[in-house]
């Protein structure tokens, strides 16, 4: 708009007197200064795609109305170029045989759960992003970890909390460590000055959305800032060999705020999740260049920070539901970890016209599918019933092997008949009511055996995959009706 105004002013120039011409020339030079320094760039807020003009639909990720305008200094573009080219120049093409693949020495984080999720410890020069909802415990997890790391100099850069708040948190955690330094800073250049002074062996940025670089005009947390700061920190990690832990916020939709590009830049993305009203938290690996993404860490938030839960089945063992209907026990697998977990259900006659369906810790669409299978394939009339489902401990389980346990809990509540407490279940339910095989059956059986279950219902097709001898009495089920007969007759 500014430039059109100047243009119109320009066409009027011949009719103006000397004074006006002088003012005009000041304006023109100011205008050209602004134009030279700032430019508008549009970013897709979903994937970080950059475009010189606004677009309705992102050509990269296909999302609609995701473009946002950000002002950038022209010289910032050249700065960004340098960040990207930091790895260039010294590489020489070679055959795979010539490449040495020695096992990377890893830093032991003094936390079995974190080590497991990282794939055996933190790799030097790697950048790890820890995402999660506000208040879930990201800062607590990181602070507690570096406090435990005696002998490793770490620098914790906090952009969200004051040093006093961090002190109070450290007091709750109750560990003292003089190798751990704290600084409250959000300017990237100042952060690097501190880093130069301290030369830490581990750098923590809490959070990446609060850090900003002077090279860009946009505000902290904007796509270009997050991208630029993450790229500079990556460059620092790779050049100095110092591992960097970035804490990132999560958007309402559940993805890490800032563009997807952040996930591409870093080596490892961990997600910290759980229900704030429950004590249990899960640390999940979403991307890991140095390990498996099937790993899972489980913590319990208590008065003095996070406690590692090495035996997840203890979530179940604390409860005693003898003689209650609507409770069934599943041998589930999350990632590669087996655990035995309780499924609770309540079925009651709908008080209103439309029956209510609610699930906590389980996919509600899958629950609706299972209810339809019960209705159509096993003849249970649930269409006029309210159905509530809850997975104990506030955990969210995505394992399809939970299906059989969900169906059994619903039937148990609907019929008001209890399921024997010594029985454990696993199996996926298909649309025609068949029980389909599950993965890692031996691990599930072992876990149930370890916890003293005497009977287990497993899919018939899994039976031939079992090599090891077990003391558990195994019952094979082919259809939902088989399970029903075994449990309630």
Per-residue DSSP letter, 426: -
Q: Which among ligand TYD, Mg ion, none contacts residue 301 (Cβ within 5 to 8 A by kind)?
A: ligand TYD
Residue in 260, 271, 187, 194 with CA at minimum distance from that of residue 227? 260
CB of 225 to ligand TYD, least distance (A): 20
According to the binding rule CB under 6 A, does residue 164 interact with ligand TYD?
Answer: no
CB of 169 to Mg ion, least distance (A): 9
3-state secondary structure of 144: helix
CB of 162 to Mg ion, least distance (A): 12
C-alpha 67/C-alpha 44 separation (Å) is 4
Cα–Cα distances in angstroms (integers) from residue 49 to residues 251, 259, 424, in the given order: 18, 8, 49
Cα–Cα distances in angstroms (integers) from residue 199 to residues 194, 196, 403, 479, 488, in the given order: 8, 5, 52, 63, 66
Q: Name the segment binding Mg ion (CB under 5 A); options: 50-58, 133-141, 215-223, 397-405.
A: 133-141
The answer to whether the beta carbons of residues 283 and 145 sit under 8 Å apart is no
Q: Name the segment binding ligand TYD (CB under 6 A); options: 133-141, 312-320, 377-385, 434-442.
A: 133-141
C-alpha 457/C-alpha 124 separation (Å) is 46
According to the binding rule CB under 6 A, does residue 222 interact with ligand TYD?
Answer: no
First to last CA, the chain: 79
The answer to whether the beta carbons of residues 426 and 456 sit under 8 Å apart is yes
Q: Residue 139 or 242: which CB sits closer to Mg ion?
A: 139
- Strands 305-308 and 296-302: what pairing? antiparallel
Query: Treating both helix axes as pointing N-terminal to C-terminal, what angle do 74-84 and 223-240 enclose, rounded to 10 degrees?
Result: 40
According to the binding rule CB under 6 A, does residue 136 interact with ligand TYD?
Answer: yes
According to the binding rule CB under 5 A, does residue 210 interact with Mg ion?
Answer: no
Element (H, E) at 261: helix 261-265
Determine which residue in the list 48, 159, 305, 427 makes contact with ligand TYD, applying CB under 6 A: 305
C-alpha 41/C-alpha 38 separation (Å) is 10
Determine which residue in the list 7, 40, 74, 134 makes contact with ligand TYD, applying CB under 6 A: 134
**Gyration radius of the chain over CA positions:** 29
DSSP for 93-127 reads ---GGGS--PPPP-B--S-HHHHHHHTSSBPTT-E
According to the binding rule CB under 6 A, does residue 426 interact with ligand TYD?
Answer: no
Determine which residue in the list 172, 264, 376, 485 makes contact with ligand TYD, applying CB under 6 A: 172
Total residues in contact with ligand TYD, by rule CB under 6 A = 14
According to the binding rule CB under 6 A, does residue 138 interact with ligand TYD?
Answer: yes
Of residues 362-421, which lie at the interface with Mg ion (CB under 5 A)? none
Per-residue DSSP letter, 420: P
Q: Name the segment binding ligand TYD (CB under 6 A); options: 6-14, 191-199, 301-309, 352-360.
A: 301-309
> Residues 374-413: x/- map of binding to ligand TYD (CB under 6 A)?
----------------------------------------
Element (H, E) at 484: helix 480-488
CB of 391 to ligand TYD, least distance (A): 22
Q: Residue 69 or 171: which CB sits closer to ligand TYD?
A: 171
Determine which residue in the list 45, 46, 115, 139 makes contact with Mg ion, applying CB under 5 A: 139
According to the binding rule CB under 6 A, does residue 304 interact with ligand TYD?
Answer: yes
Q: Residue 269 or 373: which CB sits closer to Mg ion?
A: 269
The answer to whether the beta carbons of residues 143 and 170 sit under 8 Å apart is yes
CB of 125 to Mg ion, least distance (A): 25
Binding residues for ligand TYD, rule: CB under 6 A, are: 132, 134-140, 169, 172, 301, 303-305
Binding residues for Mg ion, rule: CB under 5 A, are: 139
């Amino acid at each position: 708009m500014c430039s059109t105004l100047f243009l119109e002013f320009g066409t009027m120039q011949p009719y103006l007197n000397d004074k006006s011409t002088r003012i005009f020339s000041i304006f023109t030079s100011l205008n050209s200064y602004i134009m030279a320094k700032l430019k508008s760039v549009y970013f897709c807020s979903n994937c970080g795609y950059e475009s010189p003009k606004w677009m309705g639909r992102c050509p990269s990720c296909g999302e609609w109305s995701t473009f946002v305008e950000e002002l950038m200094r022209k010289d910032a573009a050249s700065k960004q170029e340098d960040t990207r080219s930091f790895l260039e120049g010294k590489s020489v093409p070679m055959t795979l045989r010539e490449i040495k693949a020695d096992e990377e020495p890893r830093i032991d984080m003094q936390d079995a759960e974190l080590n497991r999720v990282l794939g055996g410890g933190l790799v030097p020069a790697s950048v790890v992003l820890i995402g999660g909802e506000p208040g879930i415990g990201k800062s607590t997890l990181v602070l507690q970890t570096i406090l435990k790391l005696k002998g490793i100099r770490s620098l914790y850069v906090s952009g969200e909390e004051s040093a006093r708040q961090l002190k109070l948190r450290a007091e709750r955690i109750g560990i003292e460590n003089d190798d751990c330094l704290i600084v409250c800073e959000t300017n990237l250049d100042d952060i690097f000055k501190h880093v130069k002074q301290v030369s830490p062996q581990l750098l923590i940025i809490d959070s990446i959305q609060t850090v900003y670089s002077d090279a860009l005009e946009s505000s902290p947390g904007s796509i270009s800032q997050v991208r630029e700061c993450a790229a500079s920190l990556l460059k620092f990690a790779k050049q100095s060999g110092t591992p960097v832990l970035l804490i990132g916020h999560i958007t309402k939709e559940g993805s890490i705020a800032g563009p997807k590009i952040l996930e591409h830049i870093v080596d490892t993305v961990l997600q910290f999740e759980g229900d704030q009203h429950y004590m249990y938290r899960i640390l999940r690996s979403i991307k890991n260049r140095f390990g498996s993404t099937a790993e899972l860490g489980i913590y319990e938030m208590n008065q003095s920070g996070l406690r590692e839960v090495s035996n997840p089945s203890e979530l179940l063992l604390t409860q005693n539901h003898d003689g209650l209907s609507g409770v069934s026990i599943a041998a589930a697998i999350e990632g590669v970890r087996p655990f035995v977990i309780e499924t609770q259900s309540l079925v009651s006659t709908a008080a209103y016209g439309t029956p209510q369906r609610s699930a906590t810790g389980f996919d509600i669409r899958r629950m609706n599918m299972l209810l339809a299978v019960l209705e159509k394939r096993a003849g249970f009339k649930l269409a006029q019933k309210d159905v509530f489902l809850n997975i104990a401990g506030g955990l969210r389980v995505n394992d399809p092997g939970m299906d059989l346990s969900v169906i059994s809990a619903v039937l148990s509540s609907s019929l008001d008949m209890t399921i024997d407490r010594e029985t454990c279940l696993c199996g996926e339910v298909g649309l025609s009511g068949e029980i389909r095989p599950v993965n890692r059956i031996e691990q599930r059986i072992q876990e149930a055996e370890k916890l003293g279950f005497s009977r287990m219902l497993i899919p018939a097709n899994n039976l031939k995959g079992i090599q090891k001898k077990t003391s558990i009495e195994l019952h094979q089920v082919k259809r939902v009706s088989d399970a029903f007969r075994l449990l309630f007759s």
